[in-house]
Amino acid sequence: MTMRTSPKKYVFPEGFLWGTATAAHQIEGNNTNSDWWEWERTKIPRSLMSSPGHEYPLEESSIACDSYNRYEEDFDLCTKMNNNAIRMSVEWSRIEPKDGTFDPDQIDHYKKVIKSAKDRGLKVFVTLHHFTNPKWFSNLGGWENSKSPYYFSRYAKKCADEFGQITEAFITINEPQVYALQGFLKGEWYPCKRSFLLSLKVQLNFMRANNMAYDVIKAAYKNYKVGLVKNIVWYKNVGGFTDMLWVKLLNFLNSDFFIWPIRKHLDFVGLNFYFTTYIKDWRTANPDDRNSDLYWWINPEGLEKVLFGLKKYNLPVYVTENGLADSKDRLRKDFIHDMIVACGKALEKGVDLKGYFHWSLIDNFEWAHGFWPRFGLVEVDRRHDLKRTPRPSMFYYGSICKDNYIEE
Ligand code: BGC
């Protein structure tokens, strides 16, 4: 006789945060003072793009999802899926449109936005830098300028002064290494440079910027929580001895290399997890069994491993982004299930995981790819007044958020 065992249940700690993540430039629309806006109008040469068939001409972010005006409707969706948190970003180029000049109207706007999320029972994580810069800052050399940490921390302090009372936590910088590699090593994003040394310099400036912002905020407001969001890829050796050495180096470079030096200037670590890369003969050797629309391989084991790798920092950890491009919503439900089980496993192994934010709430502007990759739990119909329609996976995610547990 075969015994049926009941599925394993992972119960999340009380107060665990369940939410979604967004970024200003990707959803707000008309972000006209930013360098990315300007760059969208210059177009990227075809040869630099990596998604054949979708590369040229680049779409412009234009009205995006009009969330600058429709944020209440967006937050209602969060309530609909039983969320108790949201990660959003404020746009530096709106708040400080000129060097050293802050715009009180835009500050009021963001106060309204944050309050409206709070009124719906959402704890608000505010990202201060999510890939876009004010034009004036770029014109001064952007993140290559050794004064960039100073400019950034001045803006960060202003945000703390204005939004700190209504914000759960601040995230200084989103994915600094992705920005440095895309823009300064691979040349695929603004400012399209290809220099190892420059990309290193930009990373170092980001480290300094995080530390300076942390220090100025904490000096004024001891209790405010300040962290940084790091994208981490899990590399796994499926080859020989030299692959093993290469994998060790890659795992180091995309995690501890950046986090270790700034660890004393972090109250928590935010993890964006999207990829696992198997390495054999020094090359990517991923199975081809489950791929998103962007051909990103889905591998929940990677999330568990990366979370476990963060345990040594003895800091609270949040999964601040995790999601997939899946326009037909074919894979998203299983993806969510498997990734959240991976979170449960990491918790069991002692990782101080405090929350999970799915990327993304709504379909949005996916940077150099334009609008075609659909990351939203909610579909945005670009032909019909940006109408928001929940996908089935949104209700599934909502049920997990409500239960606060998941069965394997
Ligand atoms: C970024 C998001 C982006 C997502 C999917 C992350 O790298 O923070 O802005 O949309 O991944 O590519």
Taking the centre of ligand 1 as the mean of its atom positions, its distance from the CA of residue 174, in whole angstroms, is 9
Q: What's the confidence (pLDDT) of residue 90?
A: 99
Q: What's the confidence (pLDDT) of residue 324?
A: 98
**For residue 375, which atom of ligand 1 is closest to its CA?**
5
Q: What's the confidence (pLDDT) of residue 55?
A: 47
Q: What's the confidence (pLDDT) of residue 98?
A: 98
Q: What's the confidence (pLDDT) of residue 54?
A: 45
Indicate the top mutation candidate among 31, 321, 375 to test ligand 1's pocket, ranked by most ligand atoms within 8 A of CB: 321
Taking the centre of ligand 1 as the mean of its atom positions, its distance from the CA of residue 386, in whole angstroms, is 21
Taking the centre of ligand 1 as the mean of its atom positions, its distance from the CA of residue 99, in whole angstroms, is 27
- How far is Cα 175 from Cα 88, in angstroms, rounded to an integer? 14
The residue whose C-alpha atom lies closest to atom 5 belonging to ligand 1 is 366
Question: Which residue ranges have their beta carbon within 6 Å of ligand 1?
Answer: 23, 26, 174-175, 178, 231, 272, 321, 359, 366
Q: Are 34 and 25 spatial neighbours (Cβ–Cβ below 8 Å)?
A: yes
What is the model's pTM?
0.96
What does 106-169 look like in DSSP terms, one character per residue? Answer: HHHHHHHHHHHHHHTT-EEEEEEESS--BHHHHHTTGGGSTTHHHHHHHHHHHHHHHHGGG-SE
- How far is Cα 390 from Cα 381, in angstroms, rounded to an integer? 11
**For residue 323, which atom of ligand 1 is closest to its CA?**
5
Place 215 in a pLDDT band, splitting at 50, 70 and 90. very high
Specify the DSSP element, H or E, that contains 379.
strand 378-381
Q: What's the confidence (pLDDT) of residue 4?
A: 67
Taking the centre of ligand 1 as the mean of its atom positions, its distance from the CA of residue 375, in whole angstroms, is 9
Q: What's the confidence (pLDDT) of residue 369?
A: 87
Tens digit of each residue's pLDDT (9 = 90 or more) over 178-191: 999 999 998 888 88
**Which of 70, 162, 80 has its CA nearest to residue 122?**
80
